[in-house]
Structure 1
Amino acid sequence: MKILDVGCGYGRTLSELYEFGYKNLYGVDFSENMIKRAKANNPNIDFEVNEGDLPYKNDTFDSVILFAVLTCISDDDTQRDLIQEIYRVLKPNGIIYVNDFLLNDDERNINRYNAYRAKYDNYGVFELKEGAVLRHHDVDYIKELLSDYKKLKFERVTFKTMNGHTSNGFYYFGKK
C-alpha cells in the first residue's frame, strides 16, 4: 500500500505507520524545517517540501492522510485546490482520511470567530496570539468540500487542543 501524508510535519504519523509494517510511505509539508527533522528521524520514509500542486503523477497513492491540515488553510479556494489535488493523486478506489476541527459554540470561540470574520471574510477563521491563523469548519462546508468522494464514515469527536482547550472535530473516511 502506498500512503501519502499531506501536511506531515516532522513525520510522526508516518513513523508510526512504518513501525506497524507499512513501508511505502511519503510525506509532504510546506515547512522546510519540519521536513529536515522528518528526514533525520525517519530515513526510510520519502519526505519532500511542497507547497501547491502535489509533486506526484495521477493515480499514485492507495491512501492519503490529512491530520489537522484544513485548520491551517484559512481560505476556501486553497482548501478546494488541495482536495482536488488529493483526488488526482489517489488511485481509483483510493481512501482519503481527514481529521480536523469543527466550529465551536462556546463564548471564547464565538468571540474570536466574530473578531476576525471581516478580516478573513470567513466565519470560523481566527488568529492565535502566537501569530498562527487557524480555521474551524462548518459541517455542511466539510461535506461539500469532500463531496467528490464516496463517504465511508464521518464521525464527530472532541479534541484537546495544543493550548489545553477542548474543540469540536471530526474524522472522515472517503473513497475515490
Structure 2
Amino acid sequence: MKLSRSLIAAASLAVFSVTPALLAHAKTPQQLSAKIDGKLFESDDDGITYLIPTKGVLNLIASTKGASAYPPPKTLTDRLSIICRDFEGKPVKYQAKDFSNSGCEVKFIKGESKKPFGEPVAEYIVRDGKNMLEITAVNGKVIEGKFSFELRDTKTKAVLTITEGTFKAEDRQL
C-alpha cells in the first residue's frame, strides 16, 4: 500500500508537534550531595523525594545513591531528611535561629535497618550550631539549593557535621 506524500507530511507534522509537549513533561534529573564528617554522601535521581509544600512545609528526603535499586543493595543505606516550615515556594535562606525554634528539622539516619521497625546504626538530629539551608532557585516544581548542618546522635550525643551540601529536586507528585 502506497502512502501519499500529503499523508506522510501530515504524519510527520503530527509527530514533530507532539514531541515538544512530551519533552515539556520530562523529569528534571535530581541530585543531592554533601560531605558528612568529611566523607562524600550522594543520592541519585531515584533516591530523592521532594514534595511541594502543603501549607508552607518543605519536605526533602534523600537516600544513599543506589538505595532504590532492584535488587536492593546488600549494604545498609543512609537517609537525610529536611523539613522546614514557612516555605512560600520562592528562594529563601534558613539560618541557625530557624533551626532552634522548630522552624526546620533535620534528621540523618546512618545504616537503616533492613528489618521492619529495626534499629539504625545511629540516628542524628539537628542541634544548635552552624545550620543553614538556602533555596537558591525555584522554577515551577524544581528547587535548587545548598546546606550545612550540625547534628547530634540521639543516644551517644556525638556530633556529626554536614558540609558542602547541594541539591536539585523536583516535585513528582501527579
TM-score, normalisation: structure 1? 0.23
TM-score normalised over the length of structure 2: 0.23
Which of the pair is proportionally richer in helix? 1
More strand by share: 2
